[in-house]
Structure 1
Amino acid sequence: MAYREFDTPNLSRRALLRGGAWLTAGAALAGVPMGRMAFAREAGAEWQSVGAMVQKYVSERKVANMIATLGWGDKDPLYIARGTLALGGQVKADADSLYRIYSMTKPITGMAAMMLVEDGKLGLDQPIAELLPAYSRMQVQKTYDGSITDLVPAERPITVRHLLTHTAGLGYNIVQKGPISAAYTGQGLVPGQVSRIPIPGLGRSVAVAGLDVFADRLAKMPLVLQPGSKWSYSVGLDLMGRVIEVASGMKFDEFLRTQIFEPTGMTSTWFTVPESEVGRFTTNYGIMNGTPLPMDPARASIYLDKPPFPFGGAGLVSTARDYDRFLKMLLGYGMIDGKRVMGEEAVRLGTSNLLPETATTAGTWIEGQGFGAGGRVSNDAYGWGGAAGTVAFVSHKAGLRANLMTQYMPSEAYPIHEGFPKAVMADLAAMQGAKS
């Protein structure tokens, strides 16, 4: 295959890795009467609109596979699965197929931090310089994305809350432009990966080795905004991984494994896909002029390599079954299958709006909405999407959890992030109509 075909602005690193288009679930779910939710649970949701959406994308070969997972309360979920692990392949995708969830890693990192807040090892408004002294005298660009030498002192310290809500003023090489983006890339501050294939337009930047080195180098970069002033998608959740290490005394990936994955029963969520599990790993596709072309084949995936450090913002591979268990634990306010993983207050706080009062969201992806511990908060619903088309949310008011897995980039190529919640709402409306 001639991979030069990917040399297009539509497949830039900025477009490929941005995974925040989770848009409509919260507002829509908040408007659903509780009676409708109760009826849907009693009747057993048929989810015809969701099923039609899944069938359409797969039958039209826009994606190789798609799996929707929907669950009420603590009940077992329903899986709607279509397609194969790769286009033209024979192995069918199912609840245990492996997907690159990219930014859906962020809510997991956010909840890990909330566990430490609950334990008194972190404070929401604690300056991170108390744990990472290199962040005690931060400088800020006078002009956003302008000069990296024309700077002013930070007006307030970066806090744990700021990292969780993308209000620390930190940059992102996939968001920023100009000198600051080049500086991030040059210093290896690139906490994400796409492919072993040298795809033009994506670059071949290598991240620094070690979460501690990442944090130290990031501290030397100027901030792009004053801390606490504005929501701006950033490497905040990646830096939070290092804060978690220092606060807990454990390696970040070990903390996730022992404190979240194992207690929750998430047996197939990793930063590196084990060789023994490659047989259930999906292929990731780049969408070129409406056609999916393999950009990270499962058996030659970059996710078979150990990453330079565990990317808390975009590094995990998981399954529909595993991510449902994470959402089920949140829906149970920290309880799952009779076992407590997190405290109730930690979940309530983490899924609520944590944006600082000083921060504006005007002109951003989340304008008019809130942000919790690594995920958007829209009325009662909490969730986020991933750069390869995945999306998930949980609504305590509705008693509903939902996730959708597929693999393509950029996520904006298809309207799936907003289409999935809309399909869920259409089915709920149909259930209510059947009742009346």
Structure 2
Amino acid sequence: MNAQTPGILSLGSSFSRRSVLGGIGTGAVLAGMPGLAFAKETGASFPGLTKIINEYVADKKVAGMLAMIGFDEASPQVISAGTLALGGSKPVDGDTLWRMYSQTKPITGMATMMLIEDGLISLDQPLSDFFPEFADMQVLLDPEGPLDEVEPAKMPITIRQLQTHTAGLGYTIISKGPILKAYLAAGLTPGRVSRSPIPGLEAGAPTPDIMTFMKRLSELPLVYQPGTQWSYSLGHDVLSAVIEKVSGKPLDQFLQERMFGPLGMKNIFYQVPADQAVNLATNYAPFAGSLIPIDPGATSIFLDKPAFAFGSTGLVGTAGDYDKFLQMLLGFGTVNGVQVMKPETVKLGMSNLLPKTASTRGTWVANHGFGAGGRSGLGTEVSPAGTFGWGGAAGTSAFVDTVRGIRAGGYTQYIPSSSYPFQSEFPKYVYADLIGMAQAGAGKTSP
């Protein structure tokens, strides 16, 4: 994996993505609390989250940080501190561009749901209907074992499995052993980090065009039997190819026509325009109490055109643009009267789509459901009904809560996301403040 074509990386043992989106637990406490309506109406602040953001910046853990939180269709509240780069003078604000990384997955997931709504594909349709080379896959006997010790796949890879990371595919950010080396050698490394070499980042071949990518992927064994195990994967990059094959348009064009354009998402890109480089925050690697700049905004690799529109990672955009996507989810396909999806399609995409045969034990989504590219609530205390969201490798996090009418995004730029607890704890920060507001509101509205 070279510096221009890495996945979401492994900078030594500490550069692994242990947590993608923290538990959305504590939200169940809000159920039925009358004061939440008061909090929505008054537009109360988020004192706990504000304090945390200010402390991160003051302690120089990050250069800048921003949270955007909205109720129902109301304009979002913005909490921000810091600058685009350490020592810089330009503050983070609504124009700041953030590397979304895996927050791209729910967008690709919903784009796939659009094709299901169109009747062009179905959830349980085999991938081999579109790419015949995936018809007779082999599966490793040991996920970390020799590539020649395999058995035939017992069932076909399906669209559902690709959406939910249960297709048995590998991923360079989590795979180990011979399959990792094979992925690196084949350039199966969608995602970008820096134009410069990064110590500890294993080099690999350049990522090829999307159809070559698919051919090379089909020639390698799966790491698990399809439909049996949740394992973070290249599933949404494969869905990018499915979208292109079925619609006749590459993912970026499809998104622009079907989602970004209609919703007014004007500042979200796979390739950041040169005149927008001034708004791109620098990405850092925390190391020994310092922040090492690995992708300065002015010279970012995201100014270059990617090998293809990665479905799993690659979008760069403003918090406000991603908030419009969250608004669409919260509005079940409609934002300010503009409908891009039917309500039943969005609800299905945010529901638990995991195959009944798939295990999540010991994974990032244990005790949760998983939908179209994001974790979904199961209606328990740790997994509240109506919640759906995911995070990104540079510390970002975003989710919606359709039961309580909440949408929230937290943005900063450091990698790996596990360096600090901000991403994993962000939903808890939001809910803690909401509970405080609801309790205060309940007191003011009680007789």
Shorter-chain TM band: over 0.9
Q: CA deviation at 1:20?
A: 4.7
Amino acid at match of 2:118: D
How many residue pairs end up in the alignment?
426
Q: In the superposition, relative to structure 1, how do residues 18 and 122 fare at CA in structure 2: closer, same or farther (>3 Å)?
A: farther
Q: CA deviation at 1:203?
A: 2.9
**Secondary structure of 1:311 counterpart:** coil
Contact 1:29–1:425 under 8 Å retained in 2: yes
Q: Which residue of 2 aligns with 1:102?
A: 101
Contact 1:241–1:252 under 8 Å retained in 2: yes
For the pair 1:381 / 2:387, whether they are aligned, the reply is: yes
Q: CA deviation at 1:19?
A: 7.5
Amino acid at match of 2:427: P
Contact 1:19–1:386 under 8 Å retained in 2: no
Which of 429, 433, 440 is equivalent to 1:423? Answer: 429
Q: CA deviation at 1:208?
A: 2.7
Contact 1:385–1:392 under 8 Å retained in 2: yes
The aligned runs of 1:171-320 (5 Å cut-off) are 171-320=170-319
Deviations 1:56-113 (A, max 9, x none): 1111111000000000001100111111110000111101200111000000000000
Q: In the superposition, relative to structure 1, how do residues 86 and 19 fare at CA in structure 2: closer, same or farther (>3 Å)?
A: farther
**Secondary structure of 1:134 counterpart:** helix
**Secondary structure of 2:408 counterpart:** strand
Matched residues in 1 for 2:314 and 2:59: separation? 29
Q: CA deviation at 1:147?
A: 1.0
For the pair 1:391 / 2:389, whether they are aligned, the reply is: no
Q: Which residue of 2 aligns with 1:7?
A: none
Q: CA deviation at 1:11?
A: 5.4
Q: CA deviation at 1:45?
A: 2.4
Amino acid at match of 2:222: L
- Report which stretch shifted further, 203-212 or 358-367: 203-212
Amino acid at match of 1:320: A
- Report which stretch shifted further, 426-435 or 75-84: 426-435
Runs of 4+ in 1 over 6 A off after TM superposition: none
- Report which stretch shifted further, 259-268 or 164-173: 259-268
Matched residues in 2 for 1:144 and 1:46: separation? 48
**Secondary structure of 2:26 counterpart:** helix
Contact 1:210–1:308 under 8 Å retained in 2: yes
Amino acid at match of 1:213: T
- Report which stretch shifted further, 367-376 or 287-296: 287-296
Q: Which residue of 2 aligns with 1:433?
A: 439
Matched residues in 2 for 1:260 and 1:207: separation? 29
- Report which stretch shifted further, 253-262 or 12-21: 12-21
Q: In the superposition, relative to structure 1, how do residues 383 and 55 fare at CA in structure 2: closer, same or farther (>3 Å)?
A: same
Contact 1:19–1:103 under 8 Å retained in 2: no
Q: Which residue of 2 aligns with 1:352?
A: 351
Matched residues in 1 for 2:272 and 2:95: separation? 13
Q: In the superposition, relative to structure 1, how do residues 279 and 211 fare at CA in structure 2: closer, same or farther (>3 Å)?
A: same
Matched residues in 2 for 1:200 and 1:240: separation? 32
Contact 2:30–2:438 under 8 Å retained in 1: no
Q: In the superposition, relative to structure 1, how do residues 16 and 246 fare at CA in structure 2: closer, same or farther (>3 Å)?
A: farther
Q: CA deviation at 1:15?
A: 5.9
Deviations 1:147-184 (A, max 9, x none): 11111000000000000000000000111111000000
Matched residues in 2 for 1:37 and 1:374: separation? 29
Matched residues in 2 for 1:337 and 1:14: separation? 46
Matched residues in 2 for 1:268 and 1:15: separation? 32
Contact 1:18–1:386 under 8 Å retained in 2: no
Contact 1:334–1:344 under 8 Å retained in 2: yes
Q: TM-score by structure 1 length? A: 0.95
Which of 27, 30, 45 is equivalent to 2:28? Answer: 30
Matched residues in 2 for 1:329 and 1:17: separation? 32
Q: CA deviation at 1:192?
A: 1.1
**Secondary structure of 2:409 counterpart:** strand
**Secondary structure of 1:393 counterpart:** strand
Deviations 1:16-72 (A, max 9, x none): 5737521222x3223312324322212212111111111111111110000000000
Matched residues in 2 for 1:13 and 1:255: separation? 37
Amino acid at match of 1:38: A
Q: CA deviation at 1:206?
A: 4.0
Matched residues in 1 for 2:35 and 2:106: separation? 28
User: Please, what is the CA RMSD of the aligned residues?
Assistant: 1.4
**Secondary structure of 2:272 counterpart:** coil
Question: Which stretches in structure 2 are left out of the alignment for 5+ residues?
Answer: 1-8, 378-384
Contact 1:30–1:397 under 8 Å retained in 2: no
Contact 2:20–2:391 under 8 Å retained in 1: yes
Q: Which residue of 2 aligns with 1:170?
A: 169
Q: CA deviation at 1:308?
A: 1.2
Q: In the superposition, relative to structure 1, how do residues 174 and 213 fare at CA in structure 2: closer, same or farther (>3 Å)?
A: same
Contact 2:184–2:203 under 8 Å retained in 1: no
**Secondary structure of 1:409 counterpart:** coil
Q: CA deviation at 1:195?
A: 0.4
Q: In the superposition, relative to structure 1, how do residues 398 and 15 fare at CA in structure 2: closer, same or farther (>3 Å)?
A: farther
Amino acid at match of 1:111: M
**Secondary structure of 1:293 counterpart:** strand
Matched residues in 1 for 2:114 and 2:14: separation? 32
Amino acid at match of 1:305: D
Q: CA deviation at 1:224?
A: 0.1
Q: In the superposition, relative to structure 1, how do residues 206 and 306 fare at CA in structure 2: closer, same or farther (>3 Å)?
A: farther
The aligned runs of 1:47-196 (5 Å cut-off) are 47-196=46-195
Q: Which residue of 1 aligns with 2:6?
A: none
For the pair 1:405 / 2:411, whether they are aligned, the reply is: yes
**Secondary structure of 2:268 counterpart:** coil
Contact 1:353–1:370 under 8 Å retained in 2: yes
Question: Which stretches in structure 1 are left out of the alignment for 5+ residues?
Answer: 1-9
Contact 1:64–1:83 under 8 Å retained in 2: yes
Contact 1:30–1:380 under 8 Å retained in 2: no
